[in-house]
Chain A
Amino acid sequence: GNSVTQMEGPVTLSEEAFLTINCTYTATGYPSLFWYVQYPGEGLQLLLKATKADDKGSNKGFEATYRKETTSFHLEKGSVQVSDSAVYFCALLDNYGQNFVFGPGTRLSVLP
């Protein structure tokens, strides 16, 4: 079946540090890939997405590139802020558009 694996953390960084959160997936066909962010006490917000190989999703300084050869969709940001502290979920949607699978989430804490 489809699955998503990501580093669970917690990840603790200082403000302005470079961020990478690894995400790899297992799926048949060509899934769409997503990053969602959940701030404390809130629901999930779509951060960025990519629907085909080599697509790069970007939003609010975050980027992720759909790498089919390594089945990965790593999240990066060049300079994190305290306000980026949240839980980040990598997710895939299978190519039938029926099955949305979330990774376990990575908790990020950014210290001033």
Chain B
Amino acid sequence: DTEVTQTPKHLVMGMTNKKSLKCEQHMGHRAMYWYKQKAKKPPELMFVYSYEKLSINESVPSRFSPECPNSSLLNLHLHALQPEDSALYLCASSQEPNYGYTFGSGTRLTVV
């Protein structure tokens, strides 16, 4: 298995909703990442987990809450989002960053 699987592919949520994005990889990669990508822009790093511990939080608002239950799973819990949070949320993993990242196909989030 050489894929990163993200679910759901599309999500529409209201500003008072609570939802979660899920990311899964079975490549034994030690690091997992959440990126946010706005239209026609490059991905922006949000969080990095290394060996299941949060190692980087790029000053992301607390309405985004990451969780790494085990070495294969990464969640992003969403609460009280704003319309400007609408974007493509990408998960990635790597065994060694110099080898490059493996990205999932993303969750396209729309906040209404």
Contact = CB atoms under 8 A, between A and B. Distances in A.
A73 interface: no
Contacts, number: 47
A44 B88 CA distance: 11
Interface in B52-103: 56, 90, 92, 96-103
Contact of A89 (B42, B96, B104, B106): B42
Interface residues of A, number: 21
Interface residues of B, number: 21
A93 B97 contact: yes
B42 A104 contact: yes
Contacts of B42: 89, 102-105
A17 interface: no
A100 interface: yes
Nearest to A34: B100
Nearest to A104: B42
A89 B37 CA distance: 13
A45 interface: yes
A49 B104 contact: no
Interface in B1-50: 4, 6, 40-43, 45
Given A44-B90, A102-B43, 6 more contacts: A32-B97, A43-B90, A43-B103, A44-B43, A44-B103, A97-B98
Interface of B: 4, 6, 40-43, 45, 56, 90, 92, 96-106
